Chain A
Amino acid sequence: MIVAVASGKGGTGKTTVAASLVRAWDGPVQAVDLDVEEPNLHLFLHPEMEGGRRADMIVPLADQAKCNACRACAEICQFKAITVLGEYVVAFPEMCHGCGGCMAVCPTGAITEETRELGQVLWGWSGEARFLMGRLRVGEAMSPPLMREVVKHLDPERDAIIDAPPGTSCPPINAVRRADVIVLVSEPTPFGYHDLKLAREAFAPLGKPMGLVVNRAGLGDNQLYDYCRATGLPLLMEIPFDRRVAQAYSEGRVVIEACPEYAEAFGELVGRIRDLAVCERIEARRA
């Protein structure tokens, strides 16, 4: 089973929940950090890294000598990554999305492949849990291609807990699209509520079961709870607004290790996530 921990708003506690889920999980598990722009899970799970490799995207390299300035490359490119200025073909590899269109369409073979570094895929172990992460190169604009490289290293024999990036656009969608269950994390504030609604709307077309973990319960207002009741979003767990949780986080510790009284609640969360996945399969069979 693959569980993605996501949220609309940043800083609501995705990494806190993902790290504790990895520790509380009831079987062989892997921790996967797909927030490749700002990966943080390693700061709490402190994995021993075992290896890594550079991930690249294939981008065009233009050979002026072979170019007949027909502009076919410039016309197919949707991303302004290659153009012809007068007689000169000019590639902008940092704009390229790696579709390969310019190379396929060029009649004279003037465009060959070059690579652009997306970042690193890194792996190791955090106790019994396998650990996998991506780290985007600073200056690289696109995170989904690196995320695609990271998930190629998933171990199919283990369940996976994915820490997803915040937001509601293409990076978080890419992080959750392989998941069996999406665990949304939010806080009971106007910002938390507003962004949770957006995230749920963004993920709804994927047709995955979703549930909510409310972090910093007791802070702010009740809109989040009213929304859960009104729309049938299952409330999976509440983490109270507790200075010790914030303290543990600020020290780079996993909450259930720093505050063992939370272990039982996270154990129950694992069960509820498993139930969500099962209910979904039963419903799918009925339909």
Chain B
Amino acid sequence: MLEITIISGKGGTGKTSLTGALAHLARGHVLCDLDVDAPDLHLLLDPDYERDEDFYSGHRAVIAEDRCTGCGDCLARCRFEAIRDEGGRLVVDPIACEGCGVCVHFCPAEAIDFPEEHCGRWYVSSTRFGPMVHAQLFPGQENSGRLVSLLRQEARELAEARGLETIISDGAPGIGCPVISSLSGTSLAVIVTEPTPSGRHDMERVADLAEHFRIPQVVVVNKWDINPDQSRSIEAWCAERRIEVAGRLPYDPDFTRAMVERKVITEFQARGTADEVRAVWARIQEIAGLLKAA
């Protein structure tokens, strides 16, 4: 099975717009949106929800006021500054609570409950570009890494069940927990960057992360014509690092126009940028084929 994961480090470089287009061009694949706290791919693909599941993960401490003696043991033990003394009444700040359970375990009055957290929902859907596995973490929740791992597992099972060979995943920005969960063991990371100081800086960090996990990677320079010098400099850096540039794409307001119509660029345009996106996909397929053969 081939798993292609689109990441960027910096947000807003065009990950989801590119993923949507690749979803249109690819054949025999499962789609997966791994940006579980701000997923957008479904806005382009208008999915029909076929399966809808709750995601439970982790716990939260809740002090039961009627059993609490106010001894303050929890206050002293909590390393996350999550317990506050509100005039002798001890309360847990649900936002700061890490769910470690230390206060629960040691409370001499057994006054702290530890309910499991309902963190979000996940879905299996059908779209005009094939089946999609996606989720929505409830706003403000954590454990996005665990949800990412769960989605990848479901996507693999779905692909196997339907005899599909490829998974195309849209990743989250950053280099932290959800991105690490998206990358570990994936076949190919496609890093979408843009010719700005932040696009470049963030690409370098996410490329370091992919290398840390020994994930093969290619770069796509999006909006290259905003700053051609910076684009060349990014490509030179990639050459030095032996990271292939799978293509460059121009700044094209049609990406946004397509988005407003809930379409991807290759549906919206017949030629132009759409052709360049097709060339990028062709190159990614070649590289993926070489990886498979190796």
B-binding residues in A (CB < 8 A): 8-12, 15, 37-38, 40, 43-44, 76, 78-79, 97-101, 104-105, 136, 138-143, 148, 165-171, 173, 177, 189-191, 194-195, 198-199, 201-203, 205-206, 219-221, 246-247, 249-252
Contact = CB atoms under 8 A, between A and B. Distances in A.
Given A166-B11, A167-B38, A168-B37, A198 B202 contact: no
Nearest to B181: A141
Given A43-B197, A189-B256, A219-B256, A138 B208 contact: yes
B196 interface: yes
16 contacts: A8-B38, A12-B12, A37-B173, A37-B174, A38-B201, A43-B198, A98-B79, A101-B100, A101-B102, A168-B38, A170-B144, A177-B96, A190-B43, A247-B227, A250-B227, A251-B227
Which bracket fits the contact residues of B? Answer: 35 or more
B102 A136 contact: no
Given A38-B205, A189-B256, A247-B226, A169 B141 contact: yes
Q: Which of B11, B144, B206 has the most CB of A within 10 A?
A: B11
Nearest to A40: B198
A138 B209 contact: yes
A283 B256 CA distance: 40
Contacts of B105: 76, 101, 105
Interface of B: 9-13, 16, 36-38, 40, 43, 58-59, 77, 79-81, 95-96, 98-102, 105-106, 137, 139-142, 144-145, 172-180, 195-198, 201-202, 205-206, 208-209, 212, 226-227, 230, 253, 256, 259-260, 262
A100 B174 contact: no
A169 B58 contact: no
Contact of B205 (A138, A199, A250): A138
A168 B145 CA distance: 14
Contacts of A9: 11-12, 38, 40
B140 A167 contact: no
